[in-house]
């Protein structure tokens, strides 16, 4: 049943598909890669920045037979263009999990450099990837058994309502969310689904100061894989994201005021 | 005939060789990265504005961005806290005659090949002087390590769990060059005029601390030092005139007479 041709068209099961995960350096990236490998993805390209620095988990990634590591820095247009020239015509599922997350609002960090770095990865990174990989994926929306099917964006539930302690990060994710809607509009006619993922705080080093509950990277990776298998467009994994979503749907203005408390 | 007309004549006749000591600015060239909680310098990035196309039919040009300390670059005294209050300590206020000077090239390539953490000592310099003559005041001292021949960025950066392993001068060598040789500045082939592990020296980053504290300059990420004689070359290293700039990428040229 899982291999039924029509079902494969309707959903985006990674089985026998070729996948690009844009950042393999994070715990989430590595959980995604091992999940995709277990789901029988055929090829998994794994991006990593600053290729001169060996990162934790590098050796484990190398051992996964489907994995090919690919130097990829979404802030470097030339690098993104060259990576696309090499593989964009083969990528069936692109998972853009590259992000920069710093915990600053407006008042507790001087200058704009950190906020600019967040925008450069979280917003412009998506734009660069979309410009270079989008056209090739659109052209392969009906390419036989293993066609281009999905584009996953790691956004944040803060994209809907700014979380002031992480205010500049929230703003960059709001920008990315808006651009992802544009991407969705451009990809939909070709049958490539844009999956937007809106997690609450992930249990990583940049959220150390936040109290639980936090989303384990492995749990988030599983949610993303389920969304692909089930053909879901908007994903709110975990309790925090679900609660924010409910409050936001109920009364966005009330949520904004509560967050400023 | 004065010295400049003679120079110009020899230049035209090809008797003066011009050696480019500059690495090409590109996104691939390794950049300095600090621990993530600190502010970060921009790596070199380039975006096309137009290329004889609908964005500009008859012309090609780019926008580029980078930090002051990117690629082959100049360090001004104001870069370091020890040089922050000196007069004429920034890229726009340094007297321009200071951008030209004789070069003394100390070959440490064998030592650096054997030991990535090689530290240039005062004794090593004195031994070099015994063979090549005393280092003249107001000159560039360039530490040749052949580090620029490491074309693989991983080998060039040379990180492991402890951090970066690249050669540089030790504390006494820097003090000696400043106090007893009165040099203009110190140049290296790796990222940093200090060694990769210089954080562990006392004081940390002695070349930055003492050179800039004494109003001297730094040149980093140099290349082609193997083409220079130990003495006799003249180096031209003029940074961009950035207002109160702490440094700048630049084209470094060396002149050698036949």
Give tens-digit pLDDT for A204-241.
999 999 999 999 999 999 999 999 999 999 999 999 99
Secondary structure percentages of chain A, helix, strand, coil, to 5: 50, 15, 40
Q: Is residue B216 part of a domain?
A: yes
| Cα(A112)–Cα(A127) distance, integer angstroms | 20
Between helix B171-179 and helix B122-132 the angle, nearest 10°, is 50
Q: Let me know if A4 is exposed, middle or buried by CB neighbors in 10 A (0-12, 13-18, 19+).
A: exposed
β pairing state of A93-96 and A150-154:
parallel
- Residues of chain A with Cβ-Cβ distance to B164 below 8 Å are none
Is pLDDT at B169 greater than 90 in this prediction?
A: yes
Judge: B156–A52 Cβ closer than 8 Å, yes or no: yes
pLDDT digits (tens, 9 = 90+) for A113-132: 999 999 999 999 999 999 99
Judge: B154–A51 Cβ closer than 8 Å, yes or no: yes
pLDDT digits (tens, 9 = 90+) for B179-218: 999 999 999 999 999 999 999 999 999 999 999 999 999 9
Is pLDDT at A3 greater than 80 in this prediction?
A: no
pLDDT of residue B37: 87
pLDDT of residue B108: 98
Judge: B157–A79 Cβ closer than 8 Å, yes or no: no
Q: From A75, which residue of chain B is nearest by alpha-carbon distance?
A: B45
CA distance A115 to chain B (A): 11
Is pLDDT at A2 greater than 80 in this prediction?
A: no
Judge: B159–A52 Cβ closer than 8 Å, yes or no: yes
Best of A25, A50, A56 to substitute, by most chain B Cβ atoms within 10 angstroms, is: A50
Q: In chain B, how many domains are there?
A: 1
Size of interface A-B (CB pairs under 8 A): 32
Is pLDDT at B99 greater than 90 in this prediction?
A: yes
**Least confident residue range of A38-47, A168-177, B120-129, B156-165:** B156-165
B20-30 residues labelled b (16+ CB within 10 A) or e (exposed): ebbbebebebb
pLDDT digits (tens, 9 = 90+) for A149-171: 999 999 999 999 999 999 999 99
Q: Which of B27, B33, B156 sits opposite A76 (nearest CB)?
A: B27
pLDDT of residue A49: 95
Phi, psi of B102 (to 5 degrees): -70, 155
Cβ atoms B110, B254 nearer than 8 A: no
Judge: B39–A51 Cβ closer than 8 Å, yes or no: no
Going from the C-alpha of A108 to that of each of A163, A175, A258, B77, B224, the distances in angstroms are: 14, 21, 20, 29, 45
Instruction: State the Cα angle at A109 between A103 and A114, rounded to 5°.
Output: 65
Residues forming beta bridges with residue B169, ordered by sequence position: B120
| Cα(B21)–Cα(B223) distance, integer angstroms | 5
Best of B64, B147, B153, B164 to substitute, by most chain A Cβ atoms within 10 angstroms, is: B153
pLDDT of residue A8: 81
Phi, psi of B92 (to 5 degrees): -90, -20
pLDDT of residue A1: 66
pLDDT digits (tens, 9 = 90+) for A169-205: 999 999 999 999 999 999 999 999 999 999 999 999 9
Judge: A51–B153 Cβ closer than 8 Å, yes or no: yes
Residue whose C-alpha is closest to residue B101's, from B258, B226, B219 = B219
| Cα(B194)–Cα(B208) distance, integer angstroms | 7
Q: Which of A76, A79, A113 sits opposite B39 (nearest CB)?
A: A113
Counting other chains too, the contacts that A187-191 makes at CB distance below 8 Å and 24 or more residues apart are: A187/A134, A187/A137, A187/A138, A187/A151, A189/A138, A190/A137, A190/A138, A190/A139, A190/A141, A190/A142, A190/A148, A191/A9, A191/A141, A191/A142, A191/A147, A191/A149
- Residues of chain A with Cβ-Cβ distance to B45 below 8 Å are 75-77
pLDDT of residue B43: 95
Judge: B27–A73 Cβ closer than 8 Å, yes or no: yes
Q: Is residue B7 part of a domain?
A: yes
pLDDT of residue B35: 87
- Please give the positions of B annotated as active site: 79
Cβ atoms A132, A80 nearer than 8 A: yes
Q: From A101, which residue of chain B is nearest by alpha-carbon distance?
A: B36
- Backbone torsion region of residue A191, taken as left when φ is above 0, otherwise alpha when ψ lies between -120 and 50, otherwise beta: left
CA distance B9 to chain A (A): 43
| Cα(A79)–Cα(A154) distance, integer angstroms | 21
CA distance A228 to chain B (A): 33
Q: How sure is the predictor about B61, in pLDDT bands with cuts at 50, 70 and 90?
A: very high
Distinct helix (H) and strand (E) counts, chain B? 7, 15
| Cα(A21)–Cα(A26) distance, integer angstroms | 11
Q: Which fold, A5-259?
A: Rossmann fold (3.40.50)
- Residues of chain A with Cβ-Cβ distance to B41 below 8 Å are none
Residue A103 or A146, more confident: A103
Instruction: Say what percent of chain B tops pLDDT 90.
Output: 96
Instruction: Say what percent of chain A tops pLDDT 90.
Output: 91
Residue with tokens 């969304």: A227
Judge: A53–B159 Cβ closer than 8 Å, yes or no: yes
Domain span at B140: 3-33+68-257
Is pLDDT at A52 greater than 90 in this prediction?
A: no
Judge: B40–A113 Cβ closer than 8 Å, yes or no: yes
- Mean pLDDT (chain B) is 97
Q: From B32, which residue of chain A is nearest by alpha-carbon distance?
A: A50
| Cα(A175)–Cα(A194) distance, integer angstroms | 16
Cβ atoms A122, A175 nearer than 8 A: yes
- Mean pLDDT (chain A) is 95
| DSSP E strands, A61-212 | 67-71, 93-96, 150-154, 193-197
Q: 10 Å Cβ neighbour count for B62?
A: 11
Q: Which of A51, A78, A111 sits opposite B27 (nearest CB)?
A: A78
CA distance A82 to chain B (A): 12
Q: For the domain that residue B172 is a member of, what is the CATH number?
A: 3.50.30.50
Q: Is residue B59 part of a domain?
A: no
ipTM of the complex: 0.91
Residue whose C-alpha is closest to residue A123's, from A204, A44, A187, A181 = A181
Q: Is residue B150 part of a domain?
A: yes
Q: Please give the average per-residue pLDDT across A63-71, as a whole number.
A: 97
Q: Which of A52, A76, A79 sits opposite B154 (nearest CB)?
A: A52
């Amino acid at each position: 049943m899982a291999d039924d041709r029509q079902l494969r068209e309707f959903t985006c099961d990674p089985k026998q598909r070729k996948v690009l995960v844009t950042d393999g350096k994070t715990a989430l990236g590595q959980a995604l890669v091992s999940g995709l490998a277990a789901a029988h993805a055929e090829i998994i390209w794994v991006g990593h920045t600053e290729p001169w620095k060996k990162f934790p988990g590098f050796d484990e990634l190398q051992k996964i037979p489907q994995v090919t590591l690919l130097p990829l820095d979404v802030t470097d247009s030339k690098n993104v263009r060259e990576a696309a020239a090499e593989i964009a015509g083969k990528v069936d599922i692109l998972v853009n999990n590259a992000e920069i997350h710093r915990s600053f609002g407006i008042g507790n960090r001087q200058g704009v450099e950190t906020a600019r770095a967040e925008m450069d990865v979280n917003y412009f990174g998506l734009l660069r990837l979309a410009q270079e990989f989008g056209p090739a994926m659109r052209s392969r929306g009906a390419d036989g058994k293993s066609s281009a099917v999905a584009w996953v964006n790691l956004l944040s539930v803060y994209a809907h309502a700014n979380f002031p302690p992480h205010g500049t990060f929230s703003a960059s994710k709001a920008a990315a969310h808006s651009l992802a809607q544009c991407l969705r509009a451009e990809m939909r006619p070709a049958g490539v689904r844009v999956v937007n993922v809106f997690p609450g705080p992930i249990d990583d080093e940049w959220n150390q100061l936040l109290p639980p509950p936090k989303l384990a990277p492995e749990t988030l990776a599983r949610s993303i894989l389920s969304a692909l298998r089930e053909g879901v467009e908007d994903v709110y994994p975990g309790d925090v994201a679900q609660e924010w979503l409910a409050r936001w749907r109920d009364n966005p203005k009330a949520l904004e005021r509560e967050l400023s408390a | 005939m004065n010295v400049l007309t003679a120079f110009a004549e020899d230049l035209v006749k090809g008797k003066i060789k011009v050696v480019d000591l500059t690495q090409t600015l590109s996104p691939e060239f390794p950049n300095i990265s600090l621990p993530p909680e600190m502010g970060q310098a921009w790596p070199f990035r380039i975006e096309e504005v137009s290329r004889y196309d609908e964005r500009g039919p008859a012309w090609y040009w780019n926008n580029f961005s980078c930090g002051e300390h990117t690629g082959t670059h100049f360090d001004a005294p104001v870069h370091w806290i020890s040089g922050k209050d000196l007069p004429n300590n920034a890229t726009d206020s340094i007297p321009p005659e200071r951008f030209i000077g004789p070069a003394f090239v100390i070959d440490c390539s064998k030592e650096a090949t054997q030991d990535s953490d090689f530290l240039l000592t005062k004794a090593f310099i004195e031994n070099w002087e015994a063979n090549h003559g005393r280092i003249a005041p107001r000159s560039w001292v360039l530490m040749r390590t052949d580090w620029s021949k490491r074309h693989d960025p991983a080998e060039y950066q040379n990180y492991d769990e402890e951090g970066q392993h690249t050669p540089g001068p030790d504390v006494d060598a820097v003090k000696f060059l400043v106090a007893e040789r009165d040099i203009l500045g110190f140049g290296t082939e790796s990222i940093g005029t200090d060694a990769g592990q210089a954080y562990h020296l006392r004081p940390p980053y002695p070349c930055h601390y003492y050179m800039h504290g004494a109003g001297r300059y730094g040149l980093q990420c140099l290349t082609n030092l193997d083409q220079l004689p130990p003495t006799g070359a003249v180096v031209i290293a003029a940074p961009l005139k950035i207002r109160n700039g702490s440094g700048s990428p630049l084209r470094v040229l060396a002149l050698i007479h036949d």
